[in-house]
C-alpha cells in the first residue's frame, strides 16, 4: 500500500461509510471564485466518446460529468443519493419510480430541460437499439415517460430496486441536439452542467468553459462551487509524463501515477500525491463460451487461475491494491459471500491440470494464447501482462503478450470468440453501485459486451435476484457468487488504489468512484 505521510493526513483525507462501500473526502477551504483561471488535468487516456452514456465510467471518459449531469448524485460524506437534475424521487409501484425535476434549467444549446427532454434522454441512453456500453450496468430494460411538465416515470420490465442508483450513472443530454444533429452527439456534448464544451482536439485535449447559466450558481443544494473559468483535459498515456507535467507546472492534476511518481510528488516542492481505494478492480478474463476448445475445458481455466501469483503482482508491480481472493468485490459490497474460497496460487497444480487436459486430447499447445491489455489502462499494465504471460509459460501454457490501443480493445469486445480464439484480457472494471447485480451482469451475462461467458440459466437466476430486496436479495446474490466462482470465468487481480499527483494548493473533494468534477476542486 502507498505510504501516506502525516502532512497529507493533516490535509484531511478521511474514510467514511458509503452505503455498501466507501466515500473518501478531502476537506476544501472556502474560496471565492477565481477570475480568469484554467484548471488543467492530464489524463491517462483520450475519451472514448462524448455521448451522455459515457458518464457511467470515469476511466473511459475522464471529466465528462463537468458538462453532462445526471438526475441524481452521491453525497460526498454520507454516500447517500442527493438531488441533481431531479429534486426528489419515490417508488410508485413495483415497476415504476417517479422523479420530480428541477425547474428553470436549460441545456447549453438553450433548449429547455423538462419532463419531455429528460424522458427522451433517459430512453436514449438506455435504449436497446443504441446498445451503448452502459447497458452492462442495467438490470431489466429501463424506459421513461413524461407524466407532468416536471415529473417523469422511470419504468422497468420487472422490479429493480436499484433504479435511483442507476440514474446516477447515465447522463442527461440535449434532446434538441439528438433529434436535429445526431451526427454531433459523439464529439460535441451538450448537457446542463457547470461547464460548456468548447472543443475536442483529437489526440491532444478537450476543453470547456464555465456555464454562466448553471442552476448550481444560485441553488442551496448544488453539489459544488465553480472556482475555475476553464477546464482542459490533456491526454498522455505515459504516467511519467503525466507526473512530470504537474511538477513543471504544465498541469494542475495528473491521473493514475505509479508509487514512485507518487512519492516524488510528495517530495517535490509545490506538489503532492493523493492515494485512495476506489470502486475499480483489475480482472483477468479468458475467453470461455464458444472459444477455443482449450479454454472451454474447465481444467485449463483452473490452471490459468492457479498459475498467477496475484499478491506478488500487487506487491512488486502495482505497488498498491487490495487482494480480493475468490470474488470480484470486497466484503462490504452487496452480495459478497464470505464462504467463497480463494483461487490460490499453486503453480504445481496448474502444471498438473494442463498435463491432465493434454492427456485427454485437449489441444492446449495449439491454442495460440494471446494475453492482452489496453495501453495505459492502469499504471504498469505492460509489466503486469508480461509477468502474467511468464507465469502462464512456467505452468506450461504457451502464450504471447500484447498491449493494444483503445480501438483494438473495443473491437475485441464486440467480436465474440470462435473456436480458433484463445484470448486472455487483463482489464479494469468498476462498480460505483457497490452491488453484485452490476458486476455479475457486466462480466458474466450473455448479452453484455465485456462478458465472454454465456449460461442462460445463470442469467435467468441473476435477473430474478435483481428484482429482490433486503436479505432475500443478499442471499440470492451470495448463491450466484458461489456458483460462478466454481466456473473459473473471471480472476480478480486486485481492487485498485488510484494515485493522483497535483499541485500542493489544489484541494479535491471526492468519493470512492473518484469522479473528476471541477466544482469539487478549489485553490486553497
Q: Are residues 247 and 291 in the same domain?
A: no
Residue 79's pLDDT is: 85
Mean pLDDT is lowest, of 31-35, 183-187, 467-471, for 31-35
Return the percent helix, strand and coil in the chain, to nearest 5. Answer: 30, 25, 45
Q: For residue 238, is pLDDT > 80? A: yes
**Cβ burial, residue 352 (10 Å; 0-12/13-18/19+):** middle
Residue 470: pLDDT band with limits 50, 70, 90: very high
Q: For residue 481, is pLDDT > 50? A: yes
Q: Are residues 249 and 317 in the same domain?
A: no
Domain of 121, CATH number, reads: 3.40.190.10
Residue 456's pLDDT is: 97
Residue 77: pLDDT band with limits 50, 70, 90: confident
User: Is 468 inside any structural domain?
Assistant: yes
Q: Are residues 144 and 245 in the same domain?
A: yes
Averaged over 462-473, what is the pLDDT?
94
Q: Out of 211, 239, 255, pick the residue that ends a domain.
A: 255
Averaged over 141-162, what is the pLDDT?
97
Bridge pairing between strands 38-43 and 230-235: parallel
DSSP-derived secondary structure for 411-449: HHHHS---TT--EEEEEEEE-TT-BHHHHHHHHH-TTSS
Q: For residue 13, is pLDDT > 60? A: no
Q: What is the pLDDT of residues 273-326, one digit of tens each?
A: 999 889 999 999 999 999 999 999 999 999 999 999 999 999 999 999 999 999
Residue 414's pLDDT is: 78
Averaged over 241-253, what is the pLDDT?
98
Q: For residue 50, is pLDDT > 50? A: yes
Q: For residue 270, is pLDDT > 90? A: yes
Q: For residue 36, is pLDDT > 70? A: no
Q: For residue 10, is pLDDT > 50? A: no
Domain interval for residue 328: 280-497
Residue 276's pLDDT is: 86
Mean pLDDT is lowest, of 148-162, 356-370, 399-413, for 399-413
Averaged over 13-27, what is the pLDDT?
32
Determine the Cα–Cα distance for residues 204 and 394; give it in Å rounded to an integer. Answer: 41
Q: Out of 209, 239, 255, pick the residue that ends a domain.
A: 255
What is the pTM (predicted TM-score) of this model?
A: 0.88
If one counts the domains in the chain, the total is: 2
Q: Are residues 443 and 300 in the same domain?
A: yes
Residue 232's pLDDT is: 98
Domain of 430, CATH number, reads: 3.10.105.10
Determine the Cα–Cα distance for residues 233 and 326; give it in Å rounded to an integer. Answer: 37
User: Is 52 inside any structural domain?
Assistant: yes
User: Is 10 inside any structural domain?
Assistant: no
CB-based contact 54:146 (threshold 8 Å): no
User: Is 203 inside any structural domain?
Assistant: yes
- The set of cell numbers assigned to 197 is 464544451
Q: What is the pLDDT of residues 370-417, one digit of tens each?
A: 999 999 999 999 999 999 999 999 999 999 999 999 888 888 877 889
Q: For residue 3, is pLDDT > 70? A: no
Amino acid at each position: 500500500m502507498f505510504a501516506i505521510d502525516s502532512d497529507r493526513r493533516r490535509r484531511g483525507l478521511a474514510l467514511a461509510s458509503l452505503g455498501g462501500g466507501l466515500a473518501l473526502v478531502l476537506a476544501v477551504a472556502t474560496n471565492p471564485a477565481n477570475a480568469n483561471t484554467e484548471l488543467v488535468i492530464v489524463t491517462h487516456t483520450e475519451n472514448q466518446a462524448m455521448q451522455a452514456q459515457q458518464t457511467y465510467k470515469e476511466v473511459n471518459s475522464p471529466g465528462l460529468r463537468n458538462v453532462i449531469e445526471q438526475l441524481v448524485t452521491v453525497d460526498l460524506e454520507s454516500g447517500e443519493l442527493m438531488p441533481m437534475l431531479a429534486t426528489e424521487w419515490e417508488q410508485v409501484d413495483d415497476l415504476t419510480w417517479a422523479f420530480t425535476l428541477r425547474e428553470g434549467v436549460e441545456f447549453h444549446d438553450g433548449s429547455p430541460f423538462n419532463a419531455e427532454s429528460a424522458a427522451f434522454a433517459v430512453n436514449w441512453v438506455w435504449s436497446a437499439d443504441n446498445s451503448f456500453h452502459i447497458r452492462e450496468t442495467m438490470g431489466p430494460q429501463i424506459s421513461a415517460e413524461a407524466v407532468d411538465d416536471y415529473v417523469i416515470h422511470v419504468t422497468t420490465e420487472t422490479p429493480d430496486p436499484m433504479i435511483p442508483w442507476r440514474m446516477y450513472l447515465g447522463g442527461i443530454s440535449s434532446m434538441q441536439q439528438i433529434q436535429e444533429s445526431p451526427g454531433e452527439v459523439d464529439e460535441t456534448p451538450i448537457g446542463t452542467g457547470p461547464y460548456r464544451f468548447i472543443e475536442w482536439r483529437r489526440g491532444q485535449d478537450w476543453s470547456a468553459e464555465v456555464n454562466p447559466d448553471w442552476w448550481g450558481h444560485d441553488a442551496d443544494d448544488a453539489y459544488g462551487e465553480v472556482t475555475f473559468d476553464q477546464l482542459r483535459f490533456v491526454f498522455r498515456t505515459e504516467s511519467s509524463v503525466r507526473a512530470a507535467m504537474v511538477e513543471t507546472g504544465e498541469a494542475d492534476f495528473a491521473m493514475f501515477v505509479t508509487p514512485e511518481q507518487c512519492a516524488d510528488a510528495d517530495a517535490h516542492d509545490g506538489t503532492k500525491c493523493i492515494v485512495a481505494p476506489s470502486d475499480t478492480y483489475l480482472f483477468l478474463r479468458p475467453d470461455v463460451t464458444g472459444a477455443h476448445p482449450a479454454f472451454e475445458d474447465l481444467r485449463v481455466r483452473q490452471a490459468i487461475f492457479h498459475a498467477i501469483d496475484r499478491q506478488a503482482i500487487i506487491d512488486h508491480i502495482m505497488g498498491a491494491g487490495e487482494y480480493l481472493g475468490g470474488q470480484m468485490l470486497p466484503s462490504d459490497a452487496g452480495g459478497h459471500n464470505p464462504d467463497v474460497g480463494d483461487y490460490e496460487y499453486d503453480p504445481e497444480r496448474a502444471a498438473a491440470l494442463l498435463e491432465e487436459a493434454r492427456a485427454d486430447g485437449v489441444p492446449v499447445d495449439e491454442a495460440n494464447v494471446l494475453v492482452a491489455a489496453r495501453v495505459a489502462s492502469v499504471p504498469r499494465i505492460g509489466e503486469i501482462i508480461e509477468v502474467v504471460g511468464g507465469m502462464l509459460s512456467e505452468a506450461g501454457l504457451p502464450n504471447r503478450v500484447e498491449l493494444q490501443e483503445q480501438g483494438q480493445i473495443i473491437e475485441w469486445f464486440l467480436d465474440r470468440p470462435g473456436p480458433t480464439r484463445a484470448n486472455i484480457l487483463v482489464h479494469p472494471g468498476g462498480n460505483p453501485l457497490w452491488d453484485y447485480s452490476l458486476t455479475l451482469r457486466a462480466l458474466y451475462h450473455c448479452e453484455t459486451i465485456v462478458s465472454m461467458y454465456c449460461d442462460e440459466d445463470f442469467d435467468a437466476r441473476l435477473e430474478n435476484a435483481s428484482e429482490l430486496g433486503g436479505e432475500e436479495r443478499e442471499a440470492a446474490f451470495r448463491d450466484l457468487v458461489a456458483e460462478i466462482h466454481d466456473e473459473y470465468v473471471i480472476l480478480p487481480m486486485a481492487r485498485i488504489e488510484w494515485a493522483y499527483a497535483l499541485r500542493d494548493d489544489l484541494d479535491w473533494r471526492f468519493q470512492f468512484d473518484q469522479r473528476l468534477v471541477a466544482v469539487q476542486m478549489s485553490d486553497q
